[in-house]
Every structure is written in C-alpha cells, then in structure tokens.
Structure 1
Amino acid sequence: MLGTGKTRGQVVQGRYAERERIEQLLADARRGMSGVLLVHGEAGIGKTALLDHAAGRAHGVRVLRVEGIESEMEMAFGGLHQLLLPVMDLAGLLPEPQAAALRSAFGLSGDGVRDRFSVGLAVLTLLSEAAADGPLLCLVDDAQWLDQPSVDMLTFAARRLRAEGVVMLFAVRDGAPGAAVRGLPRMLVEGLDRADAAELVPGLPPYVVDRVVEEARGNPLALIELSAALTPAQRAGRLGPSALPDATAGLPSRLQDGFLEQIRRLPEAAQVVLLVAAADDTGDLTVVLRASGRLGAAVEDLEPAERAGFVLLSGEALRFRHPLVRYAAYQGAPLARRIAAHRALAGALGEAGQAHRRAWHLAAASTGPDEEVAEELERVAEWADRRQAMASASAAYERAAQLTAHPRSRARRLVSAAQRAADAGQDERCGVLADQVPLPLEDPGVAANFARARAVVELGFRRPEEAARILVESADLTGARRPDMVASLLTDAVHAAFSAGNAALIEEIALRSPALPVLAVPARLFGGDVHGGLEAVRALVDMPADGVMDRLMTGIYLQLTGDHRAAREAAAGVVAHCRDQGVSGWLPTALHLLVQTELSLGHHEEASVRAAEALQLAEYYDLAHRAAHLRAALAMPAAVRGEEERVRELTGAASEYTRPRGVGRGTADALWARGVLELGLGRADAALEQLEAAGREVTHPLLRLPLLPDVIEAAVRAGRPERASEAARSLGEWATALGQDALAASARRCLALTGPDDEAEEHFVAALALHDGGSEYDRARTALLYGEWLRRLRRQIDARDQLRAALEGFERLGARPWADRARTELGAAGGETGLTVHEDGPISLLSPQEREVVRLAAAGASNREIGAQLFLSPRTVGHHLYRAFPKLGISSRTELAGLLAS
C-alpha cells in the first residue's frame, strides 16, 4: 500500500515561510492585487503539496489547475487549453482578435495563429475577466512537462499581471529536461529539518527514525515512502546496516523503484490500464478505457490501482497521484507493452478525430523508419506552425526526420525542425538539429534554408560576422539555381554585418548585387559615393516594402545618414507591421531601431519606455543578441540622467555578451553610454577613453559619426584638443555631405570648440539656429557650451541667458548632471540658480508606464485597446489611470486631452 505522499496535512509539515509567502499572495489577491511565484525543488520535496495548500486556503477564490505530463509536451497549447477550459465561456468577452487567436491556438477554428502575442494577450485578458467577480488562483504543476507554447503564453501573462486579483503559482522540478519557465519570482523548496521530518514518520523507534530521515535527506515523499516500505521487524528497530537502499543511489530513482515494485503486485489487467493511462496525454478517462479495451482490459480493472492510491479519479478525468508513479508505470513496462499501449491509444484517438495526438502515439510506437507516420507528423508540424507553436512544430519535424529513411527527405525535415527551433528562440537546439543534417544538400532551396538556420545560431549567440559569411556563401552557391532567394540571403547578410560593425564586410556583401535597391545604399555609401548613396536611400523610401527586412534596412539607412525624423517614421512603420502581421520574432529588433531614432531626436523618456518593452520581449524569446543591444540602448538615457550604477549594470551585461562575439555595434553603444555618463559627471579624461574605445569598435567613419560630437567635447574638456581635430574634420565633412540640420548643428558647435576663438560665437549662434525644432537635449548642450564660453569672456548677462536656457532644457529632460553643471555655471555668472522645471507640468510626476497609458487614453483609446498595444490587461490599464488621475489633478479621462494639450 502506498504512503500518503500527497496528503496535505502531512506533506506541508513545517514550511512556515513558504506557506506564509503563498498566503500573503492570496491575501493581496483579495485586495485586488496580482502575484506570481515559481516554486521549484527536487522530486518529492513538497511542491505539489504547497500548491494543494494554496488551493485549500483559497476560500472565496476561484481555482484553475493544470498538471504537466511529459508525454504531452509536443501538443501545442494543450496545457493552456486544459487550464482555461473552465473559463472558456468568458472568451466571448474578449476583443475579437484575441478571441480568434485563442480559438486558433486551441484548434477550435481552421485559422492559423498570426501572432503569438495575441494569444498571450488573450490569456491575460481572459484571466482578468475570470477574476472580475473575485480573486482567481491558477495552479500550474509540473510546468517543466507542459508544452512550451503553453508555458510561454502563461509566463507572458504572468509577467504582466498587476491589479487583477490573480495569483499564479508554478511548480517546477529542478534538473528535469523540458519546457523552460523564465522570468518569474522564484522560491526554492528544500528538505525539511530533523524535527519536522521526524513528525512525518511517527511510531518508529528513534534509531529507525534517524536512519529514515538520513536516507530521505528531508524529502517528504521519500520519508513517507521509505518508512512505508519497512518490514514489521525493521519498524520494531531490528534494522541492519544495509537494510535500506544504497545511500549513493539517486533519490527519485529509488522512489520509482519502490513504486514499480508495488505496481507489479497489481493484477495483470490493472497494470495494463495503468500503463495505458501513463502513456496517455489527455487525462481523459474515456480515452484511457477505450484504448485499454483494445488490450483486453476493462473499467473494473482500474479499481485495484485506484484502491492502491496510484490514481485519482474525478468525473471523466484520471490523474496520477505523483509523477513518479506515472514514470514507474511507464518505464517499468517492457518495450513491447509500451508500443502496444501507444498503438491502442492511436486507435482510440483516431476514433475520436484527434489526428495530431494519434500521430504522436504512432510515432512513439514506431521502432524504425516509417514514411507514413513521418508524413502524419509533418502534417502535425504544419498544424502547429499555423498556430505559431514553433517549439511544437520543431519537435514534430524532428521526430518525422527520425522516422525518415530517404536522406533528402530527412534533410528537409531536419532543416525545417532547425528553422522552427530558431523561430521559437531555441538557438542552441537549432544548432544541434543543424549539425544532424546530412550533407551535401541537393535541393538549393533546402540548402538556403539550412544556411539561414546556421546563421540564426551564429547571430543568436556566436559571431554576427560568421552569420553574414554563411549567408553570403549560400547566396553564391544557390544563386544560379535559385536566383529568387539571393536577394533575401544577401539582405539578411548585410543586416548581420551591420551588427558586427564591419564596414568592409558590409560593402563586400552589397557589391555582390549593387543593383538590388536594399543593397545599393551600402554599396555606394561605403564605396565613397555619398551622393549616390543618398539617392539610393530616397529611392528605397519611395518603393513599396515587401517584408520586415526591407522595411528595417530602410529605417537603418535613414538613421545612418542622419535623417532621424524619417528614420523614426520608418521604424514606427516596421513596429506597426510586426504587430499587425504577427511577425513577433522581429518586434524587439524593430523596437530597437525605434529606440535609436528616439534617442537621436532627444526623446529620452520615450526611448526608455520602448527599450524596456523591447528588452522584455527579447528576454521572453531568449534573443540574447538583441537583448545585449537593447541593454546598451537603455544605458544611454540612464547616462544622460546620471544614473551611474544603472549605466554600469546595463553596459556591463551588454559588453559581457558583445565583446567575445565581435558584436561591434553593441559594444560601441555600451562604451558610448559610459562615455556620456563620464562626460556629464565632469570626468572628461575617463569620458574620452570610453568614447575613443567605442570608435575603435566600428570600422567606418559613417558608423562612428554619432560618437564624434561627444569625442570632440571630451577631448577639449580634457585639455587634449589635438585628439579632437580629426574627429572635428570628419564630422564637418559628413555634415556637409549628408545635409541634415542636426548634424550641421553639432558640427558648428564643435567648430566653436576647436576653431579660432574669434569665430566661436558665429558657430554657436549658427548651431542654435540649426537646432530649432530638433533635439532639446542637443540644443541644451550647445547652450551650455556657449554660456560657458561667454562667461569666460566675462559677458555675464549674455552668459546667463544661455545658461538659464540650458538649465531649463536639462531639467525638463531629467538630465541631472548636466543640469547641475549648468546651475553651477549660472551661479558663477551671477544668475538665479533656484530654478526648477518639471517636464510637461504634472505629467512629469507619472511613471513611464503611467505616462504611456495616459497618452493613449487621451487619444481616445479604450482600456482594452491600450492593453492590446502595451501588453497589459484592461484592469491593469484601469489601475494605472486610477493612480495617474490624482497626480494629474483630474478626476476623469475626459479631462486628459485638454491637460496634455495645455
């Protein structure tokens, strides 16, 4: 007879801190706040018991629950569907795009899932609606064995919960392979101490208690099962030195052995039903019994397993008491019986019309190549692909490849598996799959896709230069037979080369097809034909864009050539395209470009909000390469604000990734942010060192152009004007060639610093005129330098005007170190230094998230529309508005438009 390993009162013996933390989350939920916790630890340590404890304390709280099943991991969105099934009647309250996405994900419609974010947002909104009339508790047990798309959507929603009254508890077994649960607050569950452990094994002599506690290492399930397995003589104290299992054996395997021994005591037919239930991935009692009937067992044969406590029955559902019971029942059965169980389940599911589940069971029953099953799995992969369940699609393609005898078909399926793994953010697995592809590849289309998969791995966590070269090589090899693929391969290659900051490589790639509009720009710009390059940029802007990469490169070229307003418009268009078309994997990259344009325009607050959103998405997708770029971008507004610790944290994390991989642009941006920080804090020597190091990371003057005004100012302030002369010359030449006011303003300001003193004022005045309508930050920088120059000439009244203007600008931007410098200079010039300016009046009192919500609400967007754009639940949007109104001194959203316009 099994011990009561899942009995709530016993297993939660002790665990006072853990229980208190969970009960606090429930208490917060009753007050309308949301909370999330990932409970993790080894097998049998009591994670499920803590979830049971939460359910037991959830008085007046609605409870949803799902348990991961290892054999169900390939079933895209299966776990999510199981969890949300009790509240699916609320799907009608969702905005139609979200409801449609959810129906598609669950296979309730024939449509594909265009955008995984729509599914995640639908989950968030549905949970919010389910909690509308009272708190909601979601329990996700054995999350490591849920399908990855379900875990992704649940964690997507969990990270965005704020004020819905929803608690989500995830339980994960440490060390188990399976779905990754990322980015949630964690709580480690460790072994019980000696006193609490002894309470679980009452009635034993002290010597026996000590031995059992020692063997179990504080693991509650082990304590109960090991004590239950003792013979009467051993329980009485007659315990020899080798009576218990070898202490070096792994605890979970020892427990499985104990479970297996007890399973084998069941009648033969009961073992058959238990094996079928263990192989099943639905938990549907009807399916289990239908399949068992094919093997000669019936419903009455389930009774011994139920009486033994192996399974729990509730209505039409069957649940194993502990995952180790399931594994023991499955792994302990001979191979032939496991195959028979899967075949029986395939037949039962075929009758039920569940073709995708049937295919997986047929695959599990296959012991060698089987093209018919492989084709069924390929159809499953296509089904998952349409639902944006890339991890599941990849698994199906991989298993199909394993069942494929023909090398050409096997290669095609492995390449498809690698591509979907990359789309799912599984770059490392993508590399493993790519390594299995049999070479050479005869089909040029498959070869090109193979090159893309390899390039994704290189760009994702190795070297962008190598990614570019892989794509170029593929374009050269496939060009004659598949000319239609050359343009996209070379465009992807030039994008990777831009990430490396290698201008020679960019030019080399572009010159392979200089007539191609998207490559004509770098072919000319990096080849010395600036006028031709600008014409090519304008031609590209006027052309209809085919896809994300062409749109993205257009924005990059506009930014590169200093047309920041047009670049911002292009970047916003790429972001909108990614959102509208469901190209979610590219959204962090598109947002990164938008952040860069906002920084160039001096919109530091907007850049921070966008960069934070993009970084969250990049981390969600495991896009380490893009996350590094975004950390460097986030560091720049932090540097302007003088947040030294934050800047060092962000740039340190960015550089740790970019330096060893040759991501030159990312390293340069991180060093640039550090240089701006040092310059703002008045440490000119340190600033010059960082800024010159940033310039060495990129290999063309055009790529270094944004750095030059800061390099020049740092060199002059450090008393090293000779180190500013080349930068000033280059800046002036490019400003003239590119013809952009912002660049011209920076060039004139720098001429004032480095040129003859009797020409300085002319340059300062010209720079200020060119700044009109441009970046307020750059204008304030120019006014500060002009005011300092005037004060040195003892023109105090004129100096005060410029320094006051600089101070006002810096304070509006929250640029504290620069404001402090302006205030000091203003005081020295005899001006009033008590000035304090708040950007946009009371708007400056809002957090960045509140500000974004208020901006959209003022434009007339509903809470649901705001939530869809910002990936928040409607109730969280309402919470932000509730907090913002008192700060703004208003009482309703109808007053917002007038407030923002004033």
Structure 2
Amino acid sequence: MRGRNTERDRIGRLLADARQGTSGVLLLHGEAGIGKTALLDWAAGRADGLRVLRVEGIESEMELAFGGLHQLFLPVLDLVGTLPEPQAAALRAVFGLTADGVRDRFTVGLAVLTMLSEAAADGPLLCLVDDAQWVDQPSVDLLTFAARRLRAEGVVMLFAVRDGAPGAAVKGLPQLLVEGLDRTAAAELVPDLPPYVADRVIEEARGNPLALIELAGALTPAQRAGRLGPLALPEAAGLPGRIQHGFLEQIRRLPEPAQLVLLVAAADDTGDLTVVLRAAAELGAAVEHLEPAERAGLVALSGAAVRFRHPLVRYAAYQGAPLARRIAAHRALAAALGATGQAHRRAWHLAAASTGPDEQVAEELERVAEWAGSRQAMASASAAHERAAQLTADPGLRARRLVQAAQKAADAGQDERCGALADQVPTPLADPEVAAGLARARAVVELGYRRPETAARILLDSVDPAADRPEAIAEVLTDAVHAAYSGGSATLIAEIAARAPELPVLAVPARLFGGDVPGALAALRTLVEQGQDPATGVMDRLMTGIHCRLTGDHRAAREAAVGAVAVCRDQGVSGWLPTTLHLLALTELSLGRFDEASAHATEALGLAEYYDLAHRAAHLRAVLALLAGLRGEEEQSRALAGTALAYSRPRGVGRASADADWALGLLELGLGRAEAALEPLEAARRGTDHPLLALSLLPDLVEAAGRAGRPERAVEPARVLGEWAAALEQPGLSALARRCRALTGPDSAAEEHFRAALALHEGGSGYDRARTALLYGEWLRRLRRQIDARDHLRAALETFEQLGAEPWAVRARAELAAAGGETVLTVRTDGPISLLSPQEREVVRLAASGASNREIAAQLFLSPRTVGHHLYRAFPKLGVSSRTELATLLAS
C-alpha cells in the first residue's frame, strides 16, 4: 500500500471507531486499477476482531434483484430468524426463500439495517462492497439506506465505485477520491526497471498501480534495455482500455479450452465453481482446463468459488470472445442453472443468448419482472420488462411490456429512463388500459421531477369516461388534483374536480374553487366524518387534510394527517410517508408546534431524498426554511429557501416556490427588515393563482407593508383575508383577519379588532396569538399606554421564548423594555427536554409511550442499538434512570 497514507489513515480511524462501538461509512471512488480493491483488501487484513462480510459487483449480475445483498449476507443468513417478524419475512421474500411479496421497501431497508446491527452484536463488523456500480440497484439502494442510518452499532461499511462506469447509482455517502500514486510511490512498484525505463512506464501509467504492473510486465527484453519506442499496450479506450487489452493478450496465449472455461466463468454471475464447471462441460471443457488461467494469475480458486484477479480480467475474457462463443456460454449457463432451480438467473442467460424474438424467453422474463416488482425492486422489474419487450414480436404485447417497463422505471425514480421507454411506445394505442398506464408513467415523472401541472394535465387528458371504470377514473382524477395542488394552480384544480364533482374527494375543490363555499364546507365535513373509518385510505386522508388546511381548520387537518401517517406506517405504505409527513409538518407549523413540525419535516426530507422525490424534497426544504427563520437561524433559512427556489421555480413547482419565498419574507420580517420582507412575500402570493392558496402568508404581507410605510400595499390583502375568513368561519383565521383590520383600519377601531383577535385566538396557535399580542402591545405603547402595553408584550415574549422564536422574542423584549417593563432573559420552560437533539426527543417520546427499542427503531428507521444509544445519552440529560421515570417526566 505504497503512497496510500491518507486512505489508510481514514479507513484505520473507521476501524478503530468501530471497536469502540461507533459506526462509519466511506465510499472510495476512482478509475479502474487505481487501487480501490487493494484498499478494501488492506482493510480486511487490518480487521482483527471484526467480522468481515464482502460482496463484489459483477456486470452481468446487475439486473438480478437482490443478488448483491444475498451474497453479502450469505454467511449470516441464520440471523434472519432473530429479526422482528415483518422484517424477517421481508428478507426471506427478497432472497427467494418464500413466495411472499413485499408491500414496502422501507421494511426491507429496516431489515438490512437490523441485520447489520445483529451481525455486530458480538463484536464490530466490516462490510466491503467492491465494484458497487455493478451491484444490482435494489441491493445498492438498501445498503445505502442502511449505511446512512448507522450510528452506534460498531459497523464499518466501505464501498468502492469505478468512476465513469455505467451501473447502479451510489448516493449520499461520505466519499474519498483514490488518485494516482506520486512518482516516488510509483517507482517502488517497478524497482527492477532501469531509471529511464521506469520513468517512461510511470509517465504512461499516470500513477495507476495496476497499469504500472501490467505495463512493466509486458515489456520485451529490448524495451527493458531501453529501446522503448511505442510501449506494448496500444492506445485503446484510455488507460482502462489499455490495461484490458493487456489482459486480453494474456488470455489469448492460453490454450483454447482454458479460454472457453474462462469465458464461462466471466459470463457466470454466481462465482459458483460447480455451476461454472457444469456449464463448461456442456461445451466440452473440464476443471483441469482452468489450471493454465490459474497459473497465469488471471483467476483464483477458493473452495467452491472462482474469483477473477481484477474486474478488467473478467471484462476482457468476456468482451474479447466472439459473439457465437458468448451466446453458447450463456446457453450452457442457462442449462446449468436450470438444474439448480435458479429460474431468474436462467431467464437472464437465456435472454443474453437470444438474437431475435422469442416469446418463451420473454414470458420467463415477465415472471422475473413480476417477482422483482412484488418485492419492490422496481429498477430490476423495469429491466426485465424492457428485455421482454425487445424479445416480443406481437406489436400490441410489445407496447404493453414497454409501458410496464416505463411504469416500473418511474416507480424506481429513473425519470430519464422512463421517458426514453415511453418514447419507444407506438401511439395511438388500441388498448385503453395500456394507454392509461403510459399516461400514468409519464405523469409520475412530471410530478416527481419536472412540472406538476403537466402531470395533472396528462392525467386529466387520459380519462375516458366511456372506457374507464368509475373507480379508475376517481383514482386518476384524485392524483391529478394532487399534482395540480403541487403546481399551485387553482384553475387547473377546479377544472379537474369539475370532471367528477360527485366524488367526495373532488366535491370540496369543485365547490371551493367554484365559489360555493358553504357547499364545499358541507362536503368537507362529510370527508372528515369518513376519515374516522379505519378503512379510509392514505390518499383520501391526505386530500381531506389538504382541504381542511386550506379552509383554516388546522386541527382537523392535523387529525387527518396523523391518520394518513399512521396508515403509512401500519400498512407499510411508506412511499407516501414523505407526502403525509409534509402535510403533518405544515399543520403543526400552523398550530405553532415548531419542534414537532421540524421533526416531521426532517424525517420526511430524509425519506424524500431516499426515494429521489425531488419535488417533495423542495417542498420540505421550504418548510424547514420557514422553521429555521422562526428560530432566527438566518444562514440556514436562506440556504434552505435558496435551494428550494433554485429547484422549484424553473420547474413550475408553485407551492414549493411560494413557501420558500414566504420563508424568506417571514425571516426578514422577524429580523425587523420590513421593506426587504415585502418583495418575497408578494412573490409568494403571485406564485399561486387563487387567494385560498396564499391565505397563510397574507397576515405577514399586511404587517410587512404597514411596517415598511406602504399601507396601500396592505389594504387589498387584508380585504381578501377578511372575506375568506367570513366565508370559512374558522376562529383562527378570523383572528388573523381582525388583526389585519386593526393594522389597516383607523386607530379608533384598532383596539376593538385587537381585543377580538385575542379572544378568537384562544385555544388556537400560541404563536399567532403572541404575534397579535406583540402588535397590540406596540400599538398601545405608541399611544403611551405603557402599563397596558406591558401585559401584552410580556405575554408575547413568554410565548416566543417558549417556542424558541428568537427574532420575535428579540422584538418583544425590545418593546417591553421601551414600555418600562422588566426584560429578564428566560429559557424555554420545557426544562431538560430542550437539551435533547430532535432525534433524541422523538426517541424519548416514543419510549415514554411504552414502545420497545425495536418498535421505536421500526418507526424511525433506525437500528435498535442506535435507539438504545439515544436513550443512553438522553437519560442523564433528563435526570431519569428508567422508562417509568421518563414517562412521569414527560407527563408532567
């Protein structure tokens, strides 16, 4: 490991931390041959006292769902039985040990995390994932999901990825670039070469260790003597290509039978010597023909496994063989695997051996796709559908399979691939079901990654009342309304809802945006009542919560959101968790419960990033920007809002843009910069095309205009807010409207409005009431009614301090001091709870409710040991030593 001090130090620290119980993750990346595998080998050699698990990605195995995960966990499969049953059942399903499906990939992800934790129960664990770009995408997704959640398990995960190679995406992990060796270290790898020759080889190899060794080994005696000219390896496709060419030359020097066995081993994706030899026997080769390749150092045999010296050797052995031989190798492997019952691998080898349409093989691939899809391996399912389509002669059936491939690609978050597959589907389509599927696939991509309004329009245009079933129409239109809400277009919402106003979930927007507010509220009451039924699904609860929030009933909205989140967790529908948690965060924010809102939004953002839900992530960053601004975290608020705006504005994600602008405006207003607040607040209002979609920010806009000395810009927003408050008859909304009337009306009526607003705030948001009390106190102080002003300013200050709304507390404190009141700085009255991190607080809350560590881990997507670590840290902070004392403390 010459010249690798930085890399060794980094890995060494991770191993040392693991021995102390702390987990760590690192992704090594660099070009082929640069030494990534050698670093993994070095780590394994220094892993005294650590259990080591290892998986190596193989290019031909990329489409085999969960193959990499199964290979990694093969030595510890007996631990599956120690997992909670839902997790154990999920792992058995993805490993093909049962015929069951998996409803939710988060259950599988949690099972992987728990497996790693259990594998480290008796001592630290080292997991090595080599050539991760060639590990199947479902396995990579699950391993990175677990890696990002490791904390106190004593697990080290090292990933190695080749730069520029197509394959699985490994995202969200700490990275270290492995670069070429410096000249000193490089020279130590070729000590037997004359200095002039060594310099030339080092220059050609550019510090790549494998290239150095291969170039030096390929030198002729004349070249070693200094007569260099062109070196042995020609300029193929860059340095990796030159190295590969060198390996190919070595392979071609082997006897023909040895080349044949090497080709079969390269085409095989199991590494199982038994399978390789059985397939080789089909082609007339035997085990003794592997000996020349083994003597040449191209492969190594370990027990019943075949391992190539380097992935480029495998690649050269396969790509350097004629097409006819490759086809024969795949057919032989399919026959060998058929005898072992490995139907999925057999199907892919048959597909690789097919050169034209073959319906029998296509049907086998369809079964592979169905299996993968039922286990939430959507990328693998899409690949199987696509290959099946390529082998299909019938145009209608081919179109159906392409649409299925596009749908699964959309579900996997592969938006560009989904679009490319959809573009291959010939239109118009005779089958309305296939046409609807194509529309849904395109809409999923638009909603998740491009323009939500386009998604809504695609869905709306796909509805055919004459051909579609009523329940199918209801589902499509509900999804379309949800997409239109994300885009911030009330006009489009109304158009969609008007297509089926008799549907309960569409009756509210149809009436609300059509001017029939009483009818909308009556329909909403029906929805809320239906939401009490445990059978109510996620989407109905979600839309109920959205409509309740729009109409100002934040408590009913919170109840619907809590129910939607519960359904997601209880039924394993975690793909909807980012959306339902987003709604719950918004309702908690509206109710002035900032800590709860922050916890839900943070969890939702992590899930949105995991699912590659870019639009939802932008929405959630805007919410977190609002919360950061309320707490006075200016830099954080601006960064979050800026990121949300940069993403959402060009893509027409209107609600995310509006919320991000609102966050910036509210930040400026809280910091006392009213003039600066006006522009983003007015931009936020312009980002929607209906007053209802901007009601929440109108009070801030009215206040900013008044404070900036622009009262004319406050009149119209105050009027609109008042009209809608009168129509919707919600106390909290009415309180805000009366506050705005106090700010924009004559002084003679202001006190009446302030008093009425405070009365209406009772039982509602403490934050909103404190904002009103602050404004009332300021107004009283300007009238020199100092004593009256102090009471309201003091009440506002106490609430702001309790909530941690520091900018508003600063303003209240200054006003109270100006009114002659005492301004002793107080701390939040939630006592030692305020000392906890957000995740510690959530763990403590669940522990106090009686949940076990495993139950908490399942709900928060953590390992049980991390939950225990959080409680270990939290108990001393809280001054408790048991869960009973914890429950008593929180109850008080």
Aligned to 1:113: 102
Aligned to 2:820: 830
Q: Hey, what's the Cα distance between the residues in 2 that align with 1:553 and 1:460?
A: 18
Aligned to 1:520: 507
Cα offsets for 1:418-462 (capped at 9, x unmatched) = 111111111121111111112111110110010011111222222
Superposition pairs of residues 792-831 of structure 1, within 5 angstroms: 792-831=782-821
Superposition pairs of residues 378-457 of structure 1, within 5 angstroms: 378-457=366-445
Whichever residue aligns with residue 159 of structure 2, its letter is F
Is 1:24 the counterpart of 2:13? The answer is yes
Q: Hey, what's the Cα distance between the residues in 2 that align with 1:874 and 1:44?
A: 39
Aligned to 1:683: 673
Is 1:218 the counterpart of 2:234? The answer is no
Aligned to 2:42: 53
Aligned to 1:783: 773
Q: Hey, what's the Cα distance between the residues in 1 that align with 2:40 and 2:762?
A: 61
Structure 2 counterpart of 1:161, from 125, 129, 150: 150
Structure 1 counterpart of 2:628, from 624, 632, 638: 638
Answer whether contact 1:67 1:141 (CA < 8 A) is retained: yes
Q: Hey, what's the Cα distance between the residues in 2 that align with 1:244 and 1:49?
A: 25
Whichever residue aligns with residue 272 of structure 1, its letter is L
Aligned to 2:750: 760
Q: Hey, what's the Cα distance between the residues in 2 that align with 1:765 and 1:867?
A: 47
Is 1:181 the counterpart of 2:173? The answer is no
Whichever residue aligns with residue 635 of structure 2, its letter is E
Secondary structure at the aligned position of 2:827 is classed as coil
Secondary structure at the aligned position of 2:158 is classed as strand
Aligned to 1:7: none
Secondary structure at the aligned position of 1:76 is classed as coil
Report the TM-score, using the length of structure 1 for normalisation: 0.97
Is 1:86 the counterpart of 2:75? The answer is yes
Query: Cα offset for 1:246?
Result: 4.7
Whichever residue aligns with residue 687 of structure 1, its letter is A
Q: Hey, what's the Cα distance between the residues in 2 that align with 1:186 and 1:514?
A: 52
Whichever residue aligns with residue 761 of structure 2, its letter is H
Is 1:889 the counterpart of 2:879? The answer is yes
Secondary structure at the aligned position of 1:527 is classed as coil
Aligned to 1:330: 318
Is 1:492 the counterpart of 2:482? The answer is no
Aligned to 1:599: 589
Structure 2 counterpart of 1:550, from 532, 540, 554: 540
Secondary structure at the aligned position of 1:161 is classed as coil
Aligned to 2:276: 288
Answer whether contact 2:18 2:124 (CA < 8 A) is retained: yes
Aligned to 1:243: 231
Answer whether contact 1:668 1:698 (CA < 8 A) is retained: yes
Query: Cα offset for 1:733?
Result: 1.3
Whichever residue aligns with residue 707 of structure 2, its letter is R
Structure 1's 893 and 34: CA in aligned 2 closer, same or farther, altered over 3 A?
same
Is 1:265 the counterpart of 2:253? The answer is yes
Cα offsets for 1:657-699 (capped at 9, x unmatched) = 1111111111100000001100000000111111111000000
Q: Hey, what's the Cα distance between the residues in 1 that align with 2:537 and 2:798?
A: 43
Aligned to 2:131: 142
Is 1:858 the counterpart of 2:848? The answer is yes
Is 1:103 the counterpart of 2:92? The answer is yes
Secondary structure at the aligned position of 1:162 is classed as coil
Is 1:299 the counterpart of 2:269? The answer is no
Is 1:252 the counterpart of 2:237? The answer is no
Q: CA RMSD in A?
A: 1.3
Is 1:655 the counterpart of 2:642? The answer is no
Secondary structure at the aligned position of 2:526 is classed as helix
Structure 1 counterpart of 2:266, from 271, 274, 278: 278
Q: Hey, what's the Cα distance between the residues in 2 that align with 1:571 and 1:481?
A: 30
Report the TM-score, using the length of structure 2 for normalisation: 0.98
Is 1:132 the counterpart of 2:115? The answer is no
Query: Cα offset for 1:247?
Result: 5.2
Answer whether contact 2:537 2:564 (CA < 8 A) is retained: no
Structure 1 counterpart of 2:763, from 769, 773, 777: 773
Answer whether contact 2:234 2:242 (CA < 8 A) is retained: no
Query: Cα offset for 1:807?
Result: 1.0
Aligned to 1:472: 460
Whichever residue aligns with residue 538 of structure 1, its letter is R
Is 1:358 the counterpart of 2:346? The answer is yes
- Listed as ranges, the gaps of 5+ residues in structure 1 are 1-11
Secondary structure at the aligned position of 2:126 is classed as strand
Answer whether contact 2:215 2:233 (CA < 8 A) is retained: no
Q: Hey, what's the Cα distance between the residues in 2 that align with 1:305 and 1:216?
A: 25
Aligned to 1:190: 179
Cα offsets for 1:814-851 (capped at 9, x unmatched) = 11111111111111111111231224111011110110
Secondary structure at the aligned position of 2:650 is classed as helix
Cα offsets for 1:17-38 (capped at 9, x unmatched) = 1110000000111111000000
Q: Hey, what's the Cα distance between the residues in 1 that align with 2:341 and 2:57?
A: 23
Q: Hey, what's the Cα distance between the residues in 1 that align with 2:567 and 2:871?
A: 28
Aligned to 2:552: 562
Query: Cα offset for 1:761?
Result: 2.0
Query: Cα offset for 1:546?
Result: 5.6
Aligned to 2:451: 463
Structure 1's 644 and 248: CA in aligned 2 closer, same or farther, altered over 3 A?
farther
Answer whether contact 1:423 1:585 (CA < 8 A) is retained: no
Answer whether contact 1:672 1:690 (CA < 8 A) is retained: yes
Secondary structure at the aligned position of 1:724 is classed as helix
Answer whether contact 1:458 1:467 (CA < 8 A) is retained: yes
Q: Hey, what's the Cα distance between the residues in 2 that align with 1:762 and 1:481?
A: 57
Answer whether contact 1:808 1:837 (CA < 8 A) is retained: no
Whichever residue aligns with residue 175 of structure 1, its letter is G
Cα offsets for 1:507-534 (capped at 9, x unmatched) = 1111111112221111111010000111
Q: Hey, what's the Cα distance between the residues in 1 that align with 2:584 and 2:129?
A: 36
Whichever residue aligns with residue 514 of structure 1, its letter is P
Query: Cα offset for 1:631?
Result: 0.8
Is 1:747 the counterpart of 2:737? The answer is yes
Answer whether contact 1:691 1:711 (CA < 8 A) is retained: yes
Secondary structure at the aligned position of 1:180 is classed as coil
Aligned length: 889
Whichever residue aligns with residue 509 of structure 1, its letter is I
Cα offsets for 1:293-324 (capped at 9, x unmatched) = 11111111111111111112222121111100
Secondary structure at the aligned position of 1:313 is classed as strand
- Percent same amino acid at aligned positions? 80
Whichever residue aligns with residue 774 of structure 1, its letter is G
Whichever residue aligns with residue 326 of structure 2, its letter is R
Q: Hey, what's the Cα distance between the residues in 1 that align with 2:813 and 2:81?
A: 58
- Listed as ranges, the gaps of 5+ residues in structure 2 are none
Q: Hey, what's the Cα distance between the residues in 1 that align with 2:536 and 2:789?
A: 53
Query: Cα offset for 1:766?
Result: 1.9
Answer whether contact 2:511 2:517 (CA < 8 A) is retained: yes
Secondary structure at the aligned position of 1:597 is classed as helix
